[in-house]
Chains A and B, each alone.
Chain A
Amino acid sequence: MANNHLTSESKQLATWYFTFAAILFGAQLLFGLVAAIQYVMPGFLYEILDFSIARILHINALVVWMVFAMFGSVYWLLPDETGIETIGIKIGKLIYWVFVAAIVVVVLVYLLVQVGPADATTIWFITEGREYIEAPRWADWGIVVVALTFVANLFLTGIKGKQTGIVTVLMADMIAFAGLYLAGMFFTDNISVDQYWWWWVIHLWVEATWEVFVGAIAAYGLITMIGAHRKVVEMWLWIEVAMLFGSGILGLGHHYFWIGTPEYWWEIGALFSALEPLPLVAMFVHVLYDWGKTQGGEEARGSSASVIKNKPAFTWFVLNAFGNFLGAGIWGFFHTLPQVNLYTHGSQFTSAHGHLAFFGAYATILIGMMYIAVQGTNGIKIMKHTKASIWGVSMVTGGVVGMTVALTIAGYVQVLVSRAQMGATWAAYFDGQSGSWFTQAMDWRLILGAVTFSGFLLLAKDLLTTGKSPVHER
């Protein structure tokens, strides 16, 4: 990304974060593709890059690229919202390089060392072994330092500059986001207690703090891209915070059904999980409302021109409203009540939900923010679609939706065969996976994974080149 139109160091740092996020996004898809091939051809890269390692890289790269893009989004919007340069930006830049170096080392250790002696050395230097947050302990502490610096940048700037609703929400949200990471940094002897705390990181990130972050970014995006009224957008943001935290925090209960926690979590999980889709439906209303009102206001003034100032970004933001509703809402609600979760838990249903929810709720809006950064970096007044952006968004979205459908079919087979008919036994597990519906679903998952990766290449090309394209209005 060229930076001749950047007005602040904070925005420059944001473009660095977005660049590394995009690289990790590519790595996530690549290792996902390797794991998908291994489902179809189990001997592929056997004892070179086993499924267990490809999967670690796939899901940890997912979390880390999103964290990078989230930090980038905050550094991008801070000068616009507060009216001042981010305070402590030099330390922010230094910490960025520390963060990048740490991630590169962790990835190299995963690739080259892979496994350890299963003692404290492994925990400190190779992997902590907790799904999604498998970084070794030295990197854990490094992440804490990075997160504290980021939070300090945000708080010092938020306190000194103009205090908008968006920045205030982000300040509260990011301190919770960073603080929750601590719940995944210690071990206990009891696996139930261990899992109890681990879910605090995973669930309270993705179904509380990350969703609120998305609300704040959607608010910023709607103001930036379609000129939505700030007071309307910010009022909505507060409602969303209340709804998301109101249902999301105790929605944690749906992860506590089968880990050895007391049975009252069934009732808590059922009630709050049933309510969790409501804010997602409301988000959908919000985008439709703001778009309709702003475009309607423009037409009432006699103009038929579109109010959208960045079409690729707006496309990704609209996909976010739909994707969040579909992936987190529908695919989550499918199997959230304990009565049915007894059968679906840990099947490919979970994987289908994970793919569409992470993509729909987070990847979409973060890619949208990357396009907003490209627009700002290149001084573009009205940013339009290019062929690569249209193909990129279509192939990535089509690929992920297709993978989700394939995984849902595979999950359905597992529910019927491995759980309902054969009672979740060892033999049932293998019988469920050897049926033709399951294996064909996995073939389709691989094909559509390849489509997603090809779409990503087009998306990356577009992000790198669209800034200079003559199709935009400057």
Chain B
Amino acid sequence: MIDPSVVRPEIALDDFLPIFVSSALVLVFGGIYVGIYTAVKVKLLKPWTMVIAYGFWMLTAYCLYLMGSLMHVGEFTAKALVVAAIGLFLLPFAVYYMQNQVHEENEH
């Protein structure tokens, strides 16, 4: 017989798998987003595929939302996750812009 006082009720048993899968997909989708973005910018992919990149960022944001909801994160952590989603969206813009500026300055 398990003493009920030692069992932590915060996360439902069925929610663990979706939590792990969605948290893994945050970075998988995030990685695909920045990968497609960069590939388009360095002309390895056609420009229209950028739409797909933004689609993957939206999936990333959804996975962060799902993960946070299932974990029942507090108000502060929820804000931290929103900051992470925005940071991931802006990251390839910022990195590409800075890299490209340095490249232009040194090649022209």
- How far is B91's CA from A416's CA once the two chains are assembled, in angstroms? 36
Is B34 within 8 A of A333, CB to CB? Answer: no
Select A423's contact among B8, B88, B106, beta carbons within 8 Å. Answer: B8
| A16 CB, nearest partner CB in chain B, Å | 37
Residue numbers in B under 8 Å from A2 (CB-CB) = none
Using A289-B38, A293-B42, A343-B16 as known contacts, say yes or no to A337 and B71 having CB atoms under 8 A apart.
yes
Is B24 within 8 A of A334, CB to CB? Answer: yes
Using A339-B71, A421-B7 as known contacts, say yes or no to A285 and B27 having CB atoms under 8 A apart.
no
Is B34 within 8 A of A284, CB to CB? Answer: yes
Residue numbers in B under 8 Å from A339 (CB-CB) = 10-11, 71-73, 77
Contact surface of B with A, Cβ cutoff 8 Å = 2-3, 5-8, 10-11, 13, 16-17, 19-20, 23-24, 26-28, 30-31, 34-35, 37-39, 41-44, 71-73, 76-77, 80-81, 83-84, 87-88, 91-92, 95-96, 98-99, 102-103, 105-107
A260 at the interface (CB under 8 A from B): no
What string of 1s and 0s marks CB contacts (under 8 Å) between A398-439 and chain B?
000000000000001001100111111100000000000000
A109 at the interface (CB under 8 A from B): no
Is B84 within 8 A of A275, CB to CB? Answer: yes
Number of interface residues of A (CB under 8 A): 44
Using A274-B80, A285-B34, A339-B77 as known contacts, say yes or no to A334 and B23 having CB atoms under 8 A apart.
yes
Is A289 within 8 A of B96, CB to CB? Answer: yes
Is A423 within 8 A of B3, CB to CB? Answer: yes
Closest A-B pairs by Cβ, 7 of them: A423-B6, A292-B42, A339-B71, A271-B80, A423-B7, A274-B84, A270-B77
- How far is B74's CA from A465's CA once the two chains are assembled, in angstroms? 57
Most chain B CB inside 10 Å of its own CB: which residue of A325, A330, A342:
A330
Is A420 within 8 A of B42, CB to CB? Answer: no
- How far is B81's CA from A278's CA once the two chains are assembled, in angstroms? 12
A231 at the interface (CB under 8 A from B): yes
Select A229's contact among B71, B81, B103, beta carbons within 8 Å. Answer: B103
| A271 CB, nearest partner CB in chain B, Å | 4
Is A296 within 8 A of B99, CB to CB? Answer: no
- How far is B100's CA from A296's CA once the two chains are assembled, in angstroms? 14
What string of 1s and 0s marks CB contacts (under 8 Å) between A252-295 and chain B?
00000000000000010011001101100110111011001100
